[in-house]
Amino acid sequence: MVAMATVATHEGSSLPLTLGDGRGGIRERSPRRAEGAGRTRVAGAAPGTVPTVIRLERVTKMYKTSTRPALDRVSVSVDKGEFVFLIGPSGSGKSTFLRLLLREDVPTRGRITVADLDVAKLPRRRVPRLRQRIGVVFQDFRLLPNRTVGGNVAFALEVIGKPQATIARVVPEVLELVGLEGKADRMPHELSGGEQQRVAIARAFVNRPLVLLADEPTGNLDPDTSQDIMLLLERINRTGTTVVMATHDHSIVDSMRRRVVELDLGQVVRDESRGVYGVGR
Amino acid sequence: MRSDFVRREVATGLRRNVTMTVAMVLTTAISLALLGTGMLAVRTIDSTESLYADRLEIQVALTQDVSAADQDCSQPICSGLKKTLENSPLVESVTFESQQEAYTRFQQLFAGQSIADVARPQSLPATLRVKLADQQTGADAVRQAMNGQVGVRTIIDQRDVVGKLFDFLGGVRNVTFALALVQAVAALLLISNTVQVSAYTRRVEVGVMRLVGATRWYTQLPFLIEAVLTGVVGAVLAGVGLVVAKFAFIDDLLAGIAQNGVIPPITIYDVLETSIWLLPIGAAIAGVTGYVTLRLYVKV
Ligand SMILES: Nc1ncnc2c1ncn2[C@@H]1O[C@H](COP(=O)(O)OP(=O)(O)O)[C@@H](O)[C@H]1O
Ligand SMILES: [Mg+2]
């Protein structure tokens, strides 16, 4: 038996979600876009192409306490539905890149847009709206230890004022999507690392964000579990959600063959679709 | 805004931090109780002042020989003085109290006490009791007009006597306000600290809230409500404390003077009316402290 649930997306349209086929299957919506190795992307979408979701224009971030910029004139744009790896050694600016998108911090120079929002210029009271369109996961999961799996996911909806009825309907759906059906009443400490990260992903995705940002989501996981998490992120990407994942895990990047943006000392040193980790420099 | 969510967060926050919450409530209560005491003192001073405003007289005591010789102010010295006073526009009326009348009043005032037995009429002066039309400048005018006149022994301004009582009440008021202020500073620091600790223990929750795009109301309201609840509970305790204090100490303390009508008694209504004021004061101070703390110290 197949049940159809309709989940509103941020575009105002509806994303059909097929449930109950036992595999948590989602109708896949792979983005169709031109792919060419080694291209340098320019800002602005030509008519008929997929809209740009994230755009950084010559973004520089100087932390007060540091002499060299954490990001140095970075220009990157990401289309809707893309899967982008953000790679580079520790300290190269990956986390800063993600923090700026979330408006955890503001750039020193340059312009950032997410969807139609000018991130740096966003007034404080509008910041929650930006963040409601972005899901985030981290290396350290950041689950609430005193809430169940279901409670953790529900929390994300409660605090943005979603009605209880919606929460009761949507949370089981998303838990099934991430492969945690039947574990809604477990506490986080009863779960493996991989399962905890699935909870975090469920929480990030439950409000159907436009963009999912992941900062080294497999950093605490063993290779097999990491592969499972990657499959899950791919599945989420296939729903049309743009995914930007910071990592320095070679094998993951190499096996996925997705777009790679490489940072070094805050500068973009490579931006190619279907990239691998250490090649092309 | 989902009230069940906020309610649960507040309950957890207060429970997680019981010792701190208790300290915060008690300090706030003590501060507010002192403030309430000060307010009662002000109230008493005000009503005492109005009680005396039209009663206060200036007494011009006559010398021994005039007092003894003139029983009805018919002789020139006394009647001269009386006329002078009555002619002043600052004076409302002048009444003469003879030595004998003074003695009678003295006996009533100190009935049953040994001083009543030793006093003799001759040792008491006859007085001209002056009621002032102008409370502001009248006293000085009378003093100037009477000072050094033949037949005048002393001039007693009742307000000097009552002034001592006001000084005492004013002292009570100042001390309680000062203590209330010190306690209030302690309460503010405690509330501020508790909000910070509370925000720290909930930093994971608050971090998640910020990331998923909760508005400031959701992230801050639980802390603010915690602080305001502290203020309100503190105010209620302070009110209860004042009522208990009224029956336990204040009534005894003031029993003598209040019964003689020297000062108006402090009634239970006075206490309750003052206590009602403590509620919004406590809530507002705690709320503002919480808000300022969140703005200054806590990234929510
Ligand atoms: N809050 C901060 N204050 C000052 N310097 C920072 C801060 N965060 C990061 N940095 C500096 O910015 C650079 C980039 O850091 P980060 O973005 O965390 O890199 P990555 O995530 O790639 O390891 C580093 O040199 C780091 O020391
Ligand atoms: Mg990092």
Looking at the structure, do residues A127 and A34 belong to the same domain, yes or no?
yes
Residue A53: pLDDT over 80? yes
Between CA B3 and CA A24 the distance in angstroms is 33
The C-alpha R_g of chain B, in whole angstroms, comes to 30
Closest-CA residue of chain B to A128: B213
Task: Tally the residues of chain B.
Answer: 300
- Determine contact: A130 vs chain B, CB below 8 A: yes
When pLDDT is cut at 50, 70 and 90, the band that residue A48 belongs to is low
Between CA A232 and CA B25 the distance in angstroms is 50
Q: Which chain B residues are Cβ-neighbours of A155 within 8 angstroms? A: 205, 208, 212
Neighbours of B258 (CB within 10 A): 16
DSSP annotation of A210 reads S
- B166 class by beta-carbon count within 10 Å (0-12 exposed, 13-18 middle, 19+ buried): middle
- Helix (H) / strand (E) containing A158: helix A149-158
Q: How many CA atoms lie within 13 A of B149 on its CB side?
A: 23
pLDDT average, residue stretch A46-57: 81
When pLDDT is cut at 50, 70 and 90, the band that residue A52 belongs to is very high
* Among A109-113, A178-182, A241-245, B142-146, the least confident range: B142-146
Closest ligand to A93 CA? 1
Q: Which residue has the tokens 């094998």?
A: A251
Between CA B274 and CA B47 the distance in angstroms is 14
Looking at the structure, do residues A158 and A35 belong to the same domain, yes or no?
no
Is B211 in contact with A125 (Cβ distance < 8 A)?
no
Residue A278: inside a domain: no
pLDDT average, residue stretch B41-66: 81
Closest CA to B14 of B198, B186, B190: B198
**Whole-number percent of chain A with pLDDT over 70:** 81
Q: Is A9 helix (H, G, I), strand (E, B) or coil?
A: coil
Looking at the structure, do residues A120 and A215 belong to the same domain, yes or no?
yes
Q: Cα of A216 to ligand 2 centre, how many Å?
A: 7
Closest ligand to A219 CA? 2
So what's the pLDDT on residue B259? 63
Residue A99: pLDDT over 80? yes
Q: Which residue has the tokens 């005396």?
A: B52
Closest CA to B231 of B177, B300, B297, B281: B281
Q: Which residue has the tokens 């306690």?
A: B183
3-state secondary structure chain B: CCHHHHHHHHHHHHHHCHHHHHHHHHHHHHHHHHHHHHHHHHHHHHHHHHHHHCCCEEEEEECHHHHHHCCCCCCHHHHHHHHHHHHCCCEEEEEEECHHHHHHHHHHHCCCCHHHHHCCHHHCCCEEEEEECCCCCHHHHHHHHHCCCCCEEEEEEHHHHHHHHHHHHHHHHHHHHHHHHHHHHHHHHHHHHHHHHHHHHCHHHHHHHHHCCCCHHHHHHHHHHHHHHHHHHHHHHHHHHHHHHHHHHHHHHHHHHHHCCCCCCCCHHHHHHHHHHHHHHHHHHHHHHHHHHHHHHCCC
Looking at the structure, do residues A57 and A103 belong to the same domain, yes or no?
yes
For residues B25 and A26, the model is more confident at: B25
Looking at the structure, do residues A26 and A112 belong to the same domain, yes or no?
yes
Closest-CA residue of chain A to B4: A158
Amino acid identity, position A126: R
- Of A168, A183, A208, which residue is a domain's last? A208
The listed CATH number (3.30.70.3040, 3.30.470.20, 3.40.640.10, 3.20.20.220) that belongs to domain B64-150: 3.30.70.3040
Residue A277: inside a domain: no
**Whole-number percent of chain B with pLDDT over 90:** 18
Residue A139: inside a domain: no
Between CA A149 and CA A264 the distance in angstroms is 37
Q: Which two tokens stand for residue B127?
A: 């007085």
ipTM for the predicted complex comes to 0.78
- B171 class by beta-carbon count within 10 Å (0-12 exposed, 13-18 middle, 19+ buried): exposed
Which residue(s) pair with A213 in the sheet?
Answer: A136, A244
Is B218 in contact with A160 (Cβ distance < 8 A)?
yes
Question: Which of A122, A159, A206 would you mutate first to test chain B, the one with the most B CBs within 10 A?
Answer: A159
- Of A153, A177, A208, which residue is a domain's last? A208
Looking at the structure, do residues A123 and A243 belong to the same domain, yes or no?
yes
- Helix (H) / strand (E) containing A15: strand A14-19
Between CA B66 and CA B77 the distance in angstroms is 8
So what's the pLDDT on residue B17? 78
pLDDT average, residue stretch A262-272: 94
Residue A93: inside a domain: yes
Between CA B236 and CA B279 the distance in angstroms is 7
**pLDDT single digits (tens) B148-187:** 888 899 888 877 777 787 788 788 888 888 888 888 888 8
Looking at the structure, do residues A101 and A48 belong to the same domain, yes or no?
yes
Closest CA to A100 of A58, A140, A139: A58
Q: Cα of A69 to ligand 2 centre, how many Å?
A: 15
Q: Which two tokens stand for residue A273?
A: 């679709």
* 8 Å CB contact between A246 and A268: no
DSSP annotation of A144 reads -
Question: Ligand 2 being an ion, which residues bring their Cβ within 5 A of it?
Answer: A 95
- Of A208, A236, A256, which residue is a domain's last? A208
- Determine contact: B205 vs chain A, CB below 8 A: yes
Give me the residue spans of the domains in chain B. 3-52+163-296, 64-150
| Average pLDDT of every residue of chain A | 85
Residue A248: inside a domain: yes
* Nearest atom within ligand 1 for CA of residue A215: 21
Looking at the structure, do residues A192 and A235 belong to the same domain, yes or no?
no
- What would you measure as the largest C-alpha separation in chain A, in angstroms? 61
**pLDDT single digits (tens) B66-76:** 888 888 888 88
Looking at the structure, do residues A187 and A92 belong to the same domain, yes or no?
no
Buried b (16+ CB within 10 A) or exposed e, B85-101: beebebbeebebbbbeb
Residue A279: inside a domain: no
pLDDT average, residue stretch A152-160: 94
Which domain does A157 fall in, by range?
A: 144-208
Q: Is A19 helix (H, G, I), strand (E, B) or coil?
A: strand
Backbone CA torsion sign across B177, B180, B186, B191: negative
Q: What is the DSSP secondary-structure string of A79-104?
A: ETT-EEEEE-STTSSHHHHHHHHTTS
* 8 Å CB contact between A263 and A97: yes
For residue A93, the domain's CATH number is 3.40.50.300
So what's the pLDDT on residue A32? 40
Looking at the structure, do residues A215 and A114 belong to the same domain, yes or no?
yes
Q: Which residues contact B212 (CB under 8 A, 6 or more apart)?
A: A131, A132, A155, A156, A159, A160, A203, A204, A207
Closest-CA residue of chain A to B219: A159
* 8 Å CB contact between A261 and A238: no
**pLDDT single digits (tens) B176-191:** 888 888 888 888 888 8
Looking at the structure, do residues A204 and A232 belong to the same domain, yes or no?
no
Q: Which chain B residues are Cβ-neighbours of A127 within 8 angstroms? A: 213
Q: Which two tokens stand for residue A225?
A: 């579990």
- Determine contact: A103 vs chain B, CB below 8 A: no
Residue A7: pLDDT over 60? no
* Nearest atom within ligand 1 for CA of residue A94: 22
Which residue(s) pair with B97 in the sheet?
Answer: B127
- Name the domain count of chain A: 2
**pLDDT single digits (tens) A242-266:** 999 999 888 899 988 899 999 999 9
Looking at the structure, do residues A17 and A58 belong to the same domain, yes or no?
yes
Between CA B63 and CA A234 the distance in angstroms is 113
* 8 Å CB contact between B14 and B21: yes
